[in-house]
Structure 1
Amino acid sequence: MNRLFGSSGKKNTPPPNLNDTINTMDSRVDAIDAKIRKIDGELAKYKEQLARTPAGPSRESVKRQAMQLLQQKKQYENQKTQMMGQSFNLEQANFTVESLRSTAETVTVMKTAAKEMKQNMKAMNIDKVEDLRDELAELMQDSNEINEVLSRSYGTPDYLDEADLEAELGMLQEFQGVEENPSYLDDIPSAPTTTNVRSPMAEPQ
């Protein structure tokens, strides 16, 4: 029966959407703008006719038609102003709704994060973390000591003192200086130079 005569009950129509309503109103504003531009073009033609038509019945007829178009233009402009105001109000309402939705989502995310943080904190013990840190520090210290022991040289006598080694090094440096400049070379006279010496075999001039 419902197929033949239709259903008498009310249909569950979805509530109007703000974005769709705003887009519809913007489309109407664009349509009104197109009508206003068309009227402006016709008014320009009537203006030219009035300039060419002398005073008389013809001029009055053109003037009445131009006045009618001008009245239509004013009505369209008023409609455009009203629709733009309504569209602006809807945009502000839509912005408020979106902001509230974003705020609600942010609060939900913060609650979830706080819950996870509490669960993770329950699984951790500050004292155990401190003990673990101290244990790691001790292991690092033991590792450094082991590396130091392993890096020592083999076969180094225990009776050698650092002061004795420094004294011996100083003696080696003094001995090296003597080898480079021996004192016995100072007693040997230097050989004469041959500069400006005339040979006895040279013929007299």
Structure 2
Amino acid sequence: MKRVFGVKKNKEPPPSIEDANDRITKRGDTVDEKIKKLDVELNRYKEQIKKTRPGPAQEAVKARAMRVLKQKRMYEGQRDMLYNQTYNLDQVQFAAEGIKDAQQTMSALKSANKELKGMMKTVKIQDIDNLQDEMMDLMDVSNEIQETLGRSYSVPDDIDEEELMG
């Protein structure tokens, strides 16, 4: 059967954003090196133009300098395009990371919601009200006990404060 229909070819996985970004950065570095070499060459031609007398020799050097300058501008245009591609990839990567963060947040919220629902089943408002009523009754009883224990036996209850101060 494999001879008739053929064998399925293994497809390579598509390049990741990081891979594409790295490749473009390497190309950008190569273009930058070429631009630096052309700058050195342009400076050399400028010096030659200054040293030569006006005439056909100087015109030939100017023509070479113009060719180098055109090449440099072409490479600068390529470099700008590569920078734009890198910028676009960075934007896509940022958006993808934002979506991944949102997915994790949603997963955490769902988990917390499920956990809270489980806890709420065990806690009932009526039980809390009953517990608070019981606590209030116990606090009232405790206060009565404290008042009873805190009474003074030797001082009568009907003494006026002015008599004590006077």
TM-score tier by shorter-chain length is: 0.7 to 0.9
> Which aligned pairs between 1:1-205 and structure 2 lie closer than 5 A?
10-11=9-10, 13-154=12-153, 156=154, 160=156, 162-163=158-159, 169=164
CA deviation after TM superposition for structure 1 residue 53, in Å: 0.7
Query: What's the CA shift for 1:100?
Result: 1.3
Structure 2 unaligned residues grouped into runs of 5+: 1-6
**More helix per residue: 1 or 2?**
2
In terms of Rg, which structure is larger? 1
TM-score normalized by the length of structure 1 = 0.68
Q: Using a 3 Å threshold, how does the CA distance of structure 1 residues 130 and 68 change in structure 2: closer, same or farther?
A: same
The structure-2 alpha-carbon separation of the partners of 1:106 and 1:166, relative to structure 1 and needing over 3 Å to count, comes to: closer
Structure 1 runs of 4+ with >4 Å offset: 165-170
Specify which structure has the bigger relative contact order, considering alpha-carbon pairs within 8 angstroms and separated by 6 or more residues.
Answer: 2
Cα deviation code 1:95-150 (max 9, x no counterpart):
11111111111111111111111111111111011000111111111112112222
| Residue identity (%) | 41
Give 2:45's aligned amino acid. Answer: Y
1:177 corresponds in structure 2 to none
> Structure 1: which 5+ runs fail to align?
1-7, 174-205
**Letter of the 1:162 counterpart:** D
CA shift in 2, pair 1:138/1:25, >3 Å: same
Q: TM-score, normalised by structure 2?
A: 0.82
Indicate how the Cα distance of structure 1 residues 69 and 148 shifts in structure 2: closer, same or farther if over 3 A, else same: same
